[in-house]
Structure 1
Amino acid sequence: MSLSSRPALLPRSLALGLLLAAAAQAAPGLPDPEAVEAALRAAPALQAARADVQAETAAGRQLQLGPHAWTLGLGAARRTLDPVAGRRSNDVELSLERGLRLPGKQAAAERLGQARLDAARAAWARDWQLQAGTLLDGLARWHREGLQARRLARQAAVAAEEARGLVRRKQLGDASALDALQAEAALAQWQALQRGAEGRAAAAELLLLRQFPGLVLPPPELPLPPLPAAELPLDSQHAGLEALVRDREAASAALAAETLERQPDPTVGVQLGRATLDGERRVGLSLSLPFGSAARDAGLEASRARLAAQDARLDQARRDLAAQQAARLREAQAQHTAWQAAQAAAERLEQVTRGLERSHALGEASLAELLQARRLAHEAGLAAELAALDAWLLQWQIALDSGRLWPAPPLR
């Protein structure tokens, strides 16, 4: 992460503009949006959501066509009219029947099919946002571990140069063996920390690329974090909440359809018959009117309960999301202030370290004092860079939750 030594406060409008730009082009620290879209489309969870949309499309056609179909019946009977005379007749009957939807049922079924399709599409957008959140979490780990590894590598390089210089000076009799030993011990410590950090960074990168094959990682350097916006954009959209809204609409449409289904559909038919004894032919019509049943009433009660459950889930989600967004905005603002304080502390400790380096060169400060100052400066500088990264991550998360970062593309 590349951060200048002096905090810069950007106007709120510019800060918001940086967040909005993330949806259209590669923002600092984020992968290219086209690479993100390709990686997310290939995720199995998104392929499953896409298949669900295709399934609901077919199910909608099924609801539109209805459950009724033509039924062909064929019957044969042998009648004995006079057993003594041996008068018998072989009768054949052919029937054709079909159920008829009562008025309003087809329209209700079409509305239900469309509502379920809309719910499946909203679920696709919700799953997209969830996978994007997983990608963002992995990217955060990659940034965090890489930042620590790079900073420790710089400290190890400084320690190595100092150790080499003291070893040469000891050979020339210009430095004590204790100073050379202290420098070599400090170098070993920095190198051990560096190797551990590099291992964690490599593991974070491997995990991210295994989860999202083909993702092209961005340059790791980040500019100073901008001042967070005071509030969310007015057109902020959370995919999870939208999915619950669509689920609630589907439950309402299901209740409307189930209400109409309490009255069963009639069945009409045509019968054609023929007797072999006297050549009699028959043509008839039939009408069947099923009675309602307790099962249909139970289905209606189940639909009412499902709608009530969806209403409760939606209310809870709205409450939770409002609280989460308010807390995240406040946290982002506080984190920006914390980063400024950490940056100021790091600058002061860096000044102390530079002063001790000059004093040590003049023989006025011990090597132990200098090494301790470097450790403190490293810790303060690392804390400032991590605070800056956290400030960026909070703003990225806000942009993701509001639908501005990596929004779900239209299904095609």
Structure 2
Amino acid sequence: MMRRTLLLSLLLAAWGALPAQAGPALPPEAAVRQALMDLPSVRAGQGEIAQGEARQRQLEAGPHEWAMTLEGQRRHTRDAGGGPDSRTRDWAVGLERAWRLPGKAALDSQLGQEHRALAEAAAEERLHGGARLLLETWFAWLRARERLVQVEEARASLEKENRAMTRRRELGDASELESLQMEAAFSQMRAEYQTREAELLAARERLQQLFPGLPLPEQVNLPAPQPIAGSLEEWEEALLTQEPALRLARLESSRSRLQAQRADRDRLADPTVGVRVAREKDGEDRLLGLTLTIPLMGSARQAEADRSRAEASIASEREAQVLRETRAAARAAWQQARGAWQAWQASQDAAARMIRAAKLQTRAYELGEGSLAEMLAIRRLAFNAELDSRLAQLDALEKYYRLEIDRHKLWDFSLPNSPEVQP
């Protein structure tokens, strides 16, 4: 009876003892910011901002530039009376420029602002996507780590008991059946340990490759997940307001409408005004004149206006689709976060009940009313219930943090000033 009691107490320690915890559930905010800013996609977003600023300046300046014309010629004049021919040199210099018709400059200025806003929204979406990716890979590492920690505790305890059982078998104090059952349980736990160790190495490698400078703590303290406060409609409104992809689609639709208006105005081409100075007959004639060039409207300009209107229609439909998808995703994220918190609550209760059942089975085995196989089976169920509870806690935390990221309450970093674009 004493040997049974010692054996069972050590077995229960495999799932009853939790590792010491220290450190927060999320990496330090300063490290997160640096890791996100080092992402190539986020750096590309800064380049997009510089591109948008340059595009704005270009549109505000307009498509037309001053042009200079130089003309030189030799004049050969024959004398009708039979006298000698005259040869003179002529030259002319002109300066001309096209001017935007009224209303076009204002539209170009608005388009420039839209291009800059689009670039900023695209950069924000890249940063937001990077934060989501970091959260995903971080919690994938936490899950793999938690699985390995739990399995390692059980494996270490079973390893001790397997050695003790082997020694008892040599002394004739344990049956062959009990020895085989213990060896099978230990082999199963050892195989699971190898699997979980490989999963942890893969998760850590992915996290370190994606975010090289992010520190990984040796121990992590998981707080209790928070329930989702507020109604679904309130969360939906908050998430729709902050979603970068929806803002980007709306800006793209607005820009396309402005572009269609600008193309419609461009059906009437801009006139070109110039001044011309000429000297003819070796200076005997001096000319000063003004020029006005008015391009005639053709089918190409009309086709461009039609194309721009079609693009505006496409962008409007795309905005409607993104709105629908964003609303569906927001509602699903809220439901999933709420369900994950409820699942964690239920898993805690299930783990507590399973541990209680294992203790009762242990007592029954001590009294000779159960077998070692039954005790190992209930112990395995208790171990799985405890692990499921920890994984449910991680799932609830991740989904809650995801909502916080989506409504810009967590890791809401602003991009640094856009760099100068090098030629």
TM class by shorter chain equals 0.7 to 0.9
Partner of 1:207: 206
Question: What is the TM-score of this pair, normalised by structure 2?
Answer: 0.86
Partner of 2:330: 325
* Structure 1 runs, 4 residues or longer, greater than 6 Å off: none
1:155–1:278: structure 2 CA closer, same or farther, 3 Å change rule?
Answer: closer
- 1:324 and 1:4 map into 2 onto residues whose CA distance is 39
Secondary structure in structure 2 of the residue aligned to 1:122: helix
Conserved 8 A contact 2:401-2:410? yes
- 2:341 and 2:34 map into 1 onto residues whose CA distance is 32
Q: How does 1:165-244 map to 2 (within 5 A)?
A: 165-217=164-216, 219-231=219-231, 232-233=234-235, 235-236=238-239, 237-244=242-249
Q: How does 1:226-375 map to 2 (within 5 A)?
A: 226-231=226-231, 232-233=234-235, 235-236=238-239, 237-277=242-282, 279-375=284-380
- 1:325 and 1:72 map into 2 onto residues whose CA distance is 59
Secondary structure in structure 2 of the residue aligned to 1:74: strand
1:163 aligns with 2:137: no
Partner of 1:88: 87
- Kindly state the Cα deviation for residue 238 of structure 1 after the two structures are TM-superposed: 0.9
- Kindly state the Cα deviation for residue 171 of structure 1 after the two structures are TM-superposed: 4.3
- Kindly state the Cα deviation for residue 264 of structure 1 after the two structures are TM-superposed: 1.2
- 1:192 and 1:320 map into 2 onto residues whose CA distance is 43
Q: Which amino acid aligns with 1:152?
A: V
Of residues 249-258 and 143-152 in structure 1, the stretch that sits farther from structure 2 once superposed is 249-258
- 1:94 and 1:404 map into 2 onto residues whose CA distance is 64
Secondary structure in structure 1 of the residue aligned to 2:93: strand
Secondary structure in structure 2 of the residue aligned to 1:72: strand
Partner of 1:113: 112
Which of 43, 49, 53 is equivalent to 1:53?
49
- Kindly state the Cα deviation for residue 277 of structure 1 after the two structures are TM-superposed: 4.9
Describe the superposition over 1:237-256 as per-residue Cα deviations: whole angstroms up to 9, x where unpaired. 11111111221222222223
Partner of 2:144: 145
Q: Which amino acid aligns with 1:258?
A: A
Partner of 2:392: 387
- 1:277 and 1:340 map into 2 onto residues whose CA distance is 101
1:40–1:4: structure 2 CA closer, same or farther, 3 Å change rule?
Answer: farther
Point out where structure 1 has 5 or more consecutive residues left out of the alignment. Answer: 6-26
Describe the superposition over 1:65-117 as per-residue Cα deviations: whole angstroms up to 9, x where unpaired. 11222211111223333244212332111111111222222221111111100
- 2:109 and 2:263 map into 1 onto residues whose CA distance is 13
- 1:270 and 1:321 map into 2 onto residues whose CA distance is 57
- Kindly state the Cα deviation for residue 205 of structure 1 after the two structures are TM-superposed: 0.8
- 2:208 and 2:259 map into 1 onto residues whose CA distance is 42
Point out where structure 2 has 5 or more consecutive residues left out of the alignment. Answer: 1-14, 18-22, 418-423
Secondary structure in structure 2 of the residue aligned to 1:215: coil
Conserved 8 A contact 2:66-2:95? yes
1:78 aligns with 2:83: no
Q: Which amino acid aligns with 2:303?
A: A
1:177–1:331: structure 2 CA closer, same or farther, 3 Å change rule?
Answer: same
Describe the superposition over 1:352-398 as per-residue Cα deviations: whole angstroms up to 9, x where unpaired. 22223334344443211111111111222222222222222221222
Secondary structure in structure 2 of the residue aligned to 1:304: helix
Question: What is the TM-score of this pair, normalised by structure 1?
Answer: 0.88
Partner of 2:129: 130
Conserved 8 A contact 1:241-1:314? yes
Q: Which amino acid aligns with 2:162?
A: A
Conserved 8 A contact 2:46-2:415? no
- Kindly state the Cα deviation for residue 182 of structure 1 after the two structures are TM-superposed: 2.4
- Kindly state the Cα deviation for residue 156 of structure 1 after the two structures are TM-superposed: 0.8
Describe the superposition over 1:285-320 as per-residue Cα deviations: whole angstroms up to 9, x where unpaired. 111111122222222122211221121111111122
1:255–1:408: structure 2 CA closer, same or farther, 3 Å change rule?
Answer: farther
- Kindly state the Cα deviation for residue 222 of structure 1 after the two structures are TM-superposed: 1.3
